[in-house]
Amino acid sequence: MVERDKIDLILGPLATAELYAINDYIQQQKIPTLSLAAADNLTQRQPSPYLLRASATASQALHPMGHYAATEMKLKRVIAIGEDIAFDYEELGGFQAAFEKDGGCVVSKLWPPLVTPDYTPYTAQISDCDGVCQGFAGSNPLRFMKAYGDAGLKFPVVTGWTGGDDALLRSFGDDAIGMVSCSAYSLEVPTEHNQRFIDGMRKNFDVIPGFYAAGLYINCQVADAALQATGGDVSDREKLIAALRAVSLTDTPRGPLKFDHLGNVVGNFYIRRCGQEDAKYGLKLWNKLIKTYENVSQFWTWPEQEFLAHLVYSRDYPPLKKC
């Protein structure tokens, strides 16, 4: 795309590992990149001057989810489970750090391979806890929640935006009822712009959107605002990236947003509970908005330098403690 098509801007990629993989090349070529991928460290300890993220780091939604699970759901002992990939390491690491900060304890962490055909061997290991945090993405949350229900497990389930995305509501079964998720987007964000977005997605694509769609739509809003600021001139990439990083929007499908000095979004995150009440658009299940955390940064409530002093969230960090 860069060398053959002479592009001026990248929208994407989606997966954390993909962003880590292309990061060096992006910086060498000085290509402004509006990423949907999480890849925490690229706006933290190893920031890229050409990266801008209007979605979230992997851990950003799980920090408030960890806080909510500990302080309002009153969970004490949680088992975390997610795919054995970078996104889930960072996502569940963020949950563990915030959950333990508020008095909870992660009992164990389970890492099924990405292409696990059957989650039964993993659901069989879930016991001696009072809650489960699942970090699955794509279609795997559907398969995990079905296996969870088939196993007869009744512990409350919490998750991030991929594990409970609104776009999955049409496919979840009753096993997802009661699941609590945290996302940077919700169908219930009460703004005119969000309603226009939903109506447009239904009309043009016949789908109920989640954050996968909303995140890329918002990236295009950011690009549009920067292009207006530069008069459409993309010849000077340094000026273009400066204009992108200066964008502050008050009206998007996720609500207001701005960027920190490292290029990562600061915005609202929404706690939702999956249930059957108030469902719309022909859906049987619905994520009911129950709490809004405003102006959430990638550092949550930690001072920036204190946060950056610890290791990037990984398979083994934070380490498990004796509960």
Interval 265-314: pLDDT, tens: 999 999 999 999 989 999 999 999 999 999 999 999 999 999 999 999 99
Same-domain status, 154 and 234: no
Q: How confident is the model at residue 10 (pLDDT cuts 50, 70, 90)?
A: very high
Same-domain status, 291 and 226: no
Same-domain status, 95 and 229: no
Same-domain status, 22 and 130: no
- pLDDT on residue 210: 97
Same-domain status, 143 and 284: yes
* Rounded-to-integer distance, Cα 186 and Cα 293, Å: 13
* % residues pLDDT > 90 (the chain): 97
DSSP 107: E
The 10 Å CB-count burial string (b at 16+, else e) for 190-211 is eeebbeebbeebeeeeeebbbb
- pLDDT on residue 91: 97
- pLDDT on residue 107: 97
- pLDDT on residue 112: 98
- pLDDT on residue 89: 97
- pLDDT on residue 67: 98
Same-domain status, 29 and 120: no
Same-domain status, 275 and 148: yes
Return the CATH number at 16.
3.40.50.2300
The tens digit of pLDDT for each residue in 263-279 reads 999 999 999 999 999 89
* Rounded-to-integer distance, Cα 27 and Cα 51, Å: 9
319 located within any domain: no
The tens digit of pLDDT for each residue in 188-234 reads 999 999 999 999 999 999 999 999 999 999 999 999 999 999 999 99
* Rounded-to-integer distance, Cα 69 and Cα 131, Å: 9
Same-domain status, 41 and 74: no
Residue with tokens 């945090």: 133
Range of the domain at 214: 10-57+210-266
256 located within any domain: yes
Average pLDDT value over all residues in the chain: 96
Per the rule left: phi > 0, alpha: psi between -120 and 50, beta: everything else, 51 is beta
Same-domain status, 225 and 108: no
